[in-house]
Amino acid sequence: MKFGIFYEHSVLKPWDDRSEYRVLQQAVEQVVLADQLGFDQVWEVEHHFLEEYSHSSAPEVFLSYCAAKTTNIRFGHGIALMLPPINHPARVAERAATLDLLSGGRLEFGTGRSATWTELAAFGCEPDLTKEMWDECTRAVVKMWTTDNFSWNGRHFRMPQRNVIPKPLQKPHPPLWVAVQSPETAVQAGERGMGMLGVTLGAPLDYQQMVRDYRRAIRTCEPIGETVNEQVNGVAFMYCDEDDARAKAIGGMAALQFGVRAAHLVGVGGIYPSPAYHAHASAAPLRNRPGDVVGPVREGTPIGDPKACIQALKWWEEVGVDRMVFLINTGETIPQEQVLNSLRLFAREVMPEFTRAERAEAMKAAEAAAREAALRAAAGVPPTGGTGA
């Protein structure tokens, strides 16, 4: 299992002239440290007009800035909104390809649509058509990346023949993902050969059936791109501390802040009945129970001491999740140095528990290859792949 961090860029009121500056700069410091510690990825949302909840309206700018300060960590659009009234597909293709080039081929391209009426209504998007828009525009972006003479005459946008430049560094294109909140979308991700980017802050059992449906569908997929990305990415809160009770109090408070802000969002399904959104659909992925003080720490949530975090993540591993990304500090609720210490402790004590088996398998394979080479040399047999001449 690989691990990453995930950003909404929540900016809690009261605001001052430097509130957004502080949130962004502290996030950059976290990303730089995560890169040094061996975290695999950082994902950032695209949202618009969602006060306090998310001030992340230009994710490609933030991610490009982080790319210049890091070496190995990968950068995920989590997600790019694939709706022409919000983003023309050619502009999405151009910006994402530029990020891939600047980062040295470290882009993970996550796609999807908005779940809030605040965003869709502001841009004049018809909710009934958003899933069709997503599908059409995602297919178009892949074509823009892989052909020099692109043209399009679709239902939701048209474009005369042009060469959309630049092209991504990764060939044939960066890994493709789609945001998944329901079993239906999990199947659609599998059918298209795309990675399943779980965006619901649920427990492992909430993902179990979706992962099964996804794995089954991807076996007979018709890829939307030129490669298949068979990976499942889950999301959870994370805070790691030597003291388990202290971790739950501090991490639980950050989770509570997220839930409070999410509760104010206006989900599409609650205001605009549409076949493209479930009637109960809401933008709020987590609501707290009356009387919650520090927020619920649900099973499978890696908030606690290293042992508790390992136990929580083992449940995700058993469900079949390949990657986990973490919300580490909603609205800068936790002092920055404590967040950085949490990342350090997680990398030192938790991550090795999920890479030990992988390292052992690699070592075993290397030893077997060395033994085979020694036997071949002793027998005078040319190495594998040799011509014998």
User: For residue 57, what is the enclosing H or E element?
Assistant: none
CB atoms within 10 A of CB 206: 15
Low-confidence ranges of the chain (pLDDT < 50): 279-295, 385-389
Q: What is the CATH class of 2-354? A: alpha beta
pLDDT in tens, 140-198: 999 999 999 999 999 999 999 999 999 999 999 999 999 999 899 999 999 999 999 99
Residue 8 to residues 27, 57, 153, 282, Cα–Cα distance (Å): 10, 10, 34, 17
- Residues 300-350: tens digit of each pLDDT: 999 999 999 999 999 999 999 999 999 999 888 999 999 999 999 999 999
CA 286 – CA 296 distance, rounded (Å): 10
Structural contact between residues 241 and 308, judged by C-beta atoms closer than 8 angstroms: no
Cβ 41 vs Cβ 325: under 8 Å = yes
What is the chain's Cα-based Rg?
22
* Pairing state between β 232-237 and 239-240: unpaired
Q: What is the C-alpha separation between 31 and 316, in angstroms, rounded?
A: 23
- Determine the pLDDT at residue 175: 98
pLDDT of residue 290: 39
Domain locations in the chain as residue ranges: 2-354
